[in-house]
A = this chain, B = another copy of it.
Amino acid sequence: MQNLRFQRALRAVDPSLVYRSNDVYDKRIGDVIVSVKDVSERAEVVCVLIGVPQHIGVERNGGRPGAADGPSSFRRAFTKLAISAFEQHIDSGRLAIADAGDIDTEGKTLEQIHDEQYDVVAQVLSSGFVPIVVGGGHDTAWPTIRALEAQGRPYGVVNIDAHADVRPLKDGGRAHSGSPFYQMLTQQPSHLQAGGFVEFGLQHTCVSASHLAFVRDAGMHAVMLDEIRRHGCLSAWGNAWPHAAAAGNVYVSLDVDAFASAYAPGVSAPAADGLSPADVASILRDASESGKLRAFDIVELNPAYDVDGRTAKLTAVMAYEVVTGLATRL
């Protein structure tokens, strides 16, 4: 029995966000997505959406609010996508896309929200399902890392991002959207693979020398945008991915500001230059086809700055690449 019943109460998805074609010849994700309670026992690959509608961590980091609406904006775009890349596997029941709903953030501190998210992600991972967490700010990564840690198996982490997000905690030890990987590298994770953390797409203009040194002094890897260009994206990825993949279990975090802002205007901290949709699609496909991807997230989608839903659609397409890649294992 694969059906998940979370100990934590999640908020149900607003049905008006879910697009349905109601046309068997034109199925969209909204036609086939199921509640996490209703995943078929036949499903061998199960992707579970988990929304984290908050931007407390962004605000603590001095960023502009709006990411709290990320999960809704994502779902509206994601459920509208046609499922042709994996329709046969949905039809056979071997692939399931489930929605767990949103973490209940109402009236909670960031620390409480993180604890709730930790519980949910840990349960999803324990079930062998692949969580697709939609933030929220990048602090959203930290509870996912704790949940991976709790699985008791070695893991690697890839952060696709313009920024390193290894800033120290704020006064009083408070986490924020710039600190998740600082927390990961300082709070002695016992199962993070040695050398198993890769930052991919960092821009010199977005990261300080001391933050870069912090990553590298920890034996980890920072792959800068200009290196990626010199070598070509897939080639640079081919050099970087094995570091994270050595553990056999990888979590990939996609900060939407890794894209040039022409493609992704709706983010908390836009970068004028950055990766292209083709770049990120190709590396997400590679990661998800590897059989080693255990968790994925999309963070810093900020609909308040989006242009005609462009960024929401882009994040939806990126999640779709992950589902497509996972389905190739079937």
Q: Does A191 contact B (CB under 8 A)?
A: no
Question: Which of A7-15, A108-116, A144-152, A316-324 forms part of the interface with chain B?
Answer: A316-324
**A84, A210, A270, A273: which has the most chain B beta carbons within 10 Å?**
A84
Q: Answer whether residue A278 sits at the interface, using C-beta atoms and an 8 A cutoff.
A: yes
- Asked if A209 CB lies within 8 Å of chain B CBs, one says yes
Contact B84 A212 (CB under 8 A): yes
A277 x B261 contact (CB < 8 A): no
With the chains together, A265 CA to B282 CA distance in Å?
23
Q: Which of B270, B308, B309 contacts A308 (CB 8 A)?
A: B270
Assembled-state Cα–Cα distance A26/B207 (Å) = 8
Interface assignment of A4: CB less than 8 Å from any CB of chain B: no
- CB atoms of B316 and A272 under 8 A apart: yes
Q: With an 8 A cutoff between CB atoms, is A211 at the interface?
A: yes
Task: Please judge, given known A-B contacts A307-B307, A308-B305, whether A206 and B270 are in contact too, CB under 8 Å.
Answer: no
CA of A82 to CA of B278, assembled, Å? 27
Which of B263, B265, B282, B320 is in CB contact (< 8 Å) with A260? B263
Contacts A308-B265, A313-B270: A208 and B278 contacting too (C-beta < 8 A)?
no
A314 at the interface (CB under 8 A from B): yes
Chain B proximity mask over A195-216: 1 for CB below 8 Å, otherwise 0: 0000000011111111110000
**Chain A interface, number of residues (Cβ within 8 angstroms):** 50
Chain B residues in 8 Å Cβ range of A212: 84
Instruction: Known A84-B208, A205-B320; judge A314-B273 contact (CB<8 A).
Output: yes
Q: Which residues of B contact A5 (CB under 8 A)?
A: none
Are the C-beta atoms of A320 and B204 separated by less than 8 Å?
A: yes
Is A226's CB within 8 Å of the partner chain B? Answer: yes
In the assembly, what is the distance between CA of A228 and CA of B85, in Å?
A: 15
Rounded to whole angstroms, the CA-CA distance of A152 and B23 in the bound complex is 37
Asked whether any CB of chain B lies closer than 8 Å to the CB of A292, the reply is: no
Contact between chains at B87 and A209 (CB < 8 Å): yes
The answer to whether B226 and A281 touch across the interface, beta carbons within 8 angstroms, is: yes
Q: Is A262 part of the contact surface with B, judged by Cβ < 8 Å?
A: yes
Does A83 have its Cβ within 8 Å of any Cβ on chain B? yes
Residues of B within 8 A of A94 (CB): none
Contact B262 A82 (CB under 8 A): no
Closest 4 CB pairs of A and B: A272-B313, A272-B314, A85-B204, A87-B209
User: Beyond the given A26-B211, A272-B277, A272-B310, could you list 10 further A-B residue pairs with CB under 8 A, ordered by the A residue number?
Assistant: A82-B209, A85-B205, A229-B282, A260-B277, A262-B263, A263-B272, A270-B308, A271-B313, A272-B317, A305-B308
Chosen A-B contacts, 26 in total, with CB atoms closer than 8 Å, are: A24-B210, A25-B208, A26-B167, A26-B208, A82-B204, A82-B209, A84-B205, A84-B207, A84-B208, A84-B212, A85-B205, A203-B317, A205-B317, A260-B277, A262-B262, A263-B272, A265-B308, A270-B308, A272-B277, A272-B313, A272-B314, A273-B281, A273-B314, A273-B317, A305-B308, A307-B307
